[in-house]
Amino acid sequence: MSQKFRWGILSTGNIAKTFARGLTSIDDAELVAVGSRTRESADRFGDEFSVPHRHSTYEDLARDPDVDAIYVATPHPMHHDNAILCLEHDKPVLVEKPFTVNASEAKRVIETARSRGVFCMEAMWTRFLPVIAKLREIVESGEIGDVRMVQANFAFRAQFNPESRLFKPELGGGGLLDVGIYAISFARMIMKNAPLEVYSMADMGKTGVDEQAAIILRYGAERMAMLMCGTRVTTKHDACVYGTDGYAIVHHPFWHGTKLTVKKGDDEQTLEIPYDGNGYTHEAREVMACIRAGKLESDVMPLDETHSIMKTLDWVRSQWNLEYPWE
């Protein structure tokens, strides 16, 4: 590996561009390659971000010997195939959330990574933000007592467009995979285990995907999470952790938050904890640190936890009778 960590990005959409901008805040990282399905798209992205290696197929990117890791930034249904393609060429991958569209796909990606001994991680960037790291420290220290409840909401108003990925079943549309995963992953991080019971309901839209949903997860006696997500109404994006001795709130928007309030008895403190770059910087640093240390997965976003979260998403969808066309 060269002195600088050399990134490749698979896909050229908006999320790929956001990640590329995040890399500019890391001194020892450089974006050296991009892969697209067309030469024109690869060249446009390459021109915008000064990328030297421009590949017109994803396989060519996976074969590039000058790439240390690949960020998979395609739409949800493509994550499985794209990640496995890279892993089978022994390329470490950071796979945009949701990791896949269901648990069986996630299992295959994870098994491929482990069988080949190649690093793999879900790009749940919220996990790596300094404010979330501070929250974990507070919760694990027992400062707010034993955690009993978590509440997190992430819904936004999108204009209806049946051709948009948000409303198209063929692209894994709906609020759950797009933004509900943030809330479910947050609850899983705090509770440290998978839910034992799931209760949920959703309003299904004209195209057959979930447009708004409410979810209750029970993690055993006296431990539960209450979550909302959707694409047709805007909620406040707070995430709250309630313990027996106090509570902690990551303020709106928790998924890229900078403000944390901790209340214990009469004492209340609000902390401002900024993130570097555009926030994606922190997950990229985690990948780089893990690979340089010879690790095959992250302690902050381990693969078994990613698989567990996908199982919960499947469980929630099963209560809505929501299946995607290829399932």
Tell me whether residue 104 is in a domain: yes
Q: Mind listing the pLDDT tens digit for each residue in 54-71?
A: 999 999 999 999 999 999
CB-CB neighbours of 299 under 10 Å:
8
The structural domain count of the chain equals 2
Give mean pLDDT, residues 114-128. 98
**CA 160, CA 76: separation in Å to the nearest integer?**
19
Q: What is the CATH number of the domain that holds 117?
A: 3.40.50.720
- Identify the pLDDT of residue 43: 98
Q: Mind listing the pLDDT tens digit for each residue in 177-199?
A: 999 999 999 999 999 999 999 99
For residue 325, the cross-strand partners are: none
Q: Mind listing the pLDDT tens digit for each residue in 81-97?
A: 999 999 999 999 999 99
- Identify the pLDDT of residue 32: 98
Please provide the average confidence, as pLDDT, over all residues in the chain.
97
Share of the chain above pLDDT 90, in %: 99
- Identify the pLDDT of residue 1: 59
Query: For 20-68, where are the E strands, in sequence order?
Result: 29-35, 53-55
**Spatial contact of 290 and 121, defined as CB atoms under 8 Å apart:** yes
Tell me whether residue 301 is in a domain: no
Tell me whether residue 286 is in a domain: no
156 — phi, psi (to 5°)?
A: -145, 160
Closest by CA position to 119, among listed 172, 72, 166, 162:
72
**CA 87, CA 146: separation in Å to the nearest integer?**
40
Give 2's pLDDT tier (boundaries 50, 70, 90).
low
Q: Please say which residue of 124, 159, 174 terminates a domain.
A: 124
Tell me whether residue 250 is in a domain: yes
Closest by CA position to 259, among listed 248, 272, 269, 278:
272
Q: Please say which residue of 95, 124, 153 terminates a domain.
A: 124
Tell me whether residue 309 is in a domain: no
The residue range of the domain holding 111 is 5-124
Tell me whether residue 140 is in a domain: yes
Share of the chain above pLDDT 70, in %: 99
Burial class (CB in 10 A: 0-12, 13-18, 19+), 282: buried
Q: pTM for this structure?
A: 0.97
Tell me whether residue 312 is in a domain: no
Q: Please say which residue of 255, 274, 293 terminates a domain.
A: 274
Residue 135 shares a structural domain with residue 113: no
**CA 85, CA 55: separation in Å to the nearest integer?**
15
Give mean pLDDT, residues 117-131. 98
Closest by CA position to 230, among listed 151, 176, 170:
176
**CA 63, CA 267: separation in Å to the nearest integer?**
56
Give mean pLDDT, residues 139-147. 97
Q: Mind listing the pLDDT tens digit for each residue in 211-236?
A: 999 999 999 999 999 999 999 999 99
**Spatial contact of 205 and 167, defined as CB atoms under 8 Å apart:** yes
Q: Mind listing the pLDDT tens digit for each residue in 248-295?
A: 999 999 999 999 999 999 999 999 999 999 999 999 999 999 999 999
